[in-house]
């Protein structure tokens, strides 16, 4: 019960990392509000509340946060997980594609923090976990907009950590490597094979392996951890 009675808001929770985070946190005693624009393919376990949230929408963020506070009187943990991925190189990137990536992967994180931080400041405590990527710290050819957004999440997290440390709010980013999810399963197999072959452990990770890292950052066990990057990548960035 490492998160007993903590109120947690998770975005992008209908599958992959978000679903695993929601499920694990609930098992550890949290009151989990799982949000997404779609319902999960299989029902959430008992005890997890579900709400619709388009992370690019200011009005939906305000409504969701307001509803959670009205019902539970607090938000202890925010996991900004919702995201998309694309692989266009800069010279082929269309404005529509650029704006969509930034809206979901970067602006969604900004809106989430902006709505939740005032709640946490009143509480004088809170943990924000922003899901970035190894591509937020290193680069491969192509995927220009994804690199831009995930790199921004990395530094946005550090900025918020320093800005609100006196309010008792901790902000950290998590940087997964290749993780087996519906998102990566839909990619070209040869693309996945290249990344896995470049990973020292020679395998992809599982969502639950990222969820356990998030559990540490959400719990009071990480009370002296803020502004850091937790890399969960099978050794990729250590090369």
Instruction: Indicate which residues carry an active-site annotation.
Output: 146
Torsion angle of alpha carbons 63, 150, 143, 18, nearest 10°?
-60
Extended beta strands in the chain, E state: 7-10, 31-36, 48-52, 77-80, 126-131, 169-176, 229-232
Residue 173, beta-bridge partner list:
130, 229
Residue located via tokens 């990770």: 205
Q: How far apart are CA 128 and CA 119, in angstroms?
A: 12
Q: Which helix (H) or strand (E) holds 59?
A: helix 58-72
Q: How far apart are CA 102 and CA 100, in angstroms?
A: 6
DSSP state letters, 21-44 = HHHHHHHTT-EEEEEESS--SSPP
């Amino acid at each position: 019960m490492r998160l007993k009675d903590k109120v947690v808001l998770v975005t992008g929770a209908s599958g992959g990392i978000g679903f695993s985070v929601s499920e694990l946190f609930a098992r550890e005693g949290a009151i989990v509000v799982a949000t997404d624009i779609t319902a999960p393919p299989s029902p959430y376990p008992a005890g997890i509340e579900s709400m619709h949230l388009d992370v690019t929408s200011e009005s939906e963020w305000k409504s969701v946060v307001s509803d959670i506070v009205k019902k539970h009187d607090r938000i202890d943990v925010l996991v900004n997980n919702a995201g998309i991925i694309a692989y266009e190189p800069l010279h082929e990137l269309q404005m529509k594609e650029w704006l969509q990536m930034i809206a979901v992967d970067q602006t969604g994180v900004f809106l989430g923090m902006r709505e939740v931080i005032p709640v946490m400041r009143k509480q004088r405590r809170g943990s924000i976990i922003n899901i970035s990527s190894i591509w937020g710290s290193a680069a491969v050819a192509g995927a220009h907009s994804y690199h831009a957004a995930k790199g921004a999440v990395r530094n946005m997290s550090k900025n918020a950590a320093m800005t609100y440390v006196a309010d008792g709010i901790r902000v950290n980013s998590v940087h997964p490597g290749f993780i087996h999810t519906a998102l990566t399963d839909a990619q070209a197999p040869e693309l996945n094979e290249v990344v896995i072959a470049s990973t020292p452990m020679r395998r992809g990770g599982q969502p639950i392996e990222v969820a356990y890292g998030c559990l540490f950052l959400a719990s009071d066990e990480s009370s002296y951890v803020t502004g850091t990057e937790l890399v969960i990548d099978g050794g990729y960035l250590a090369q």
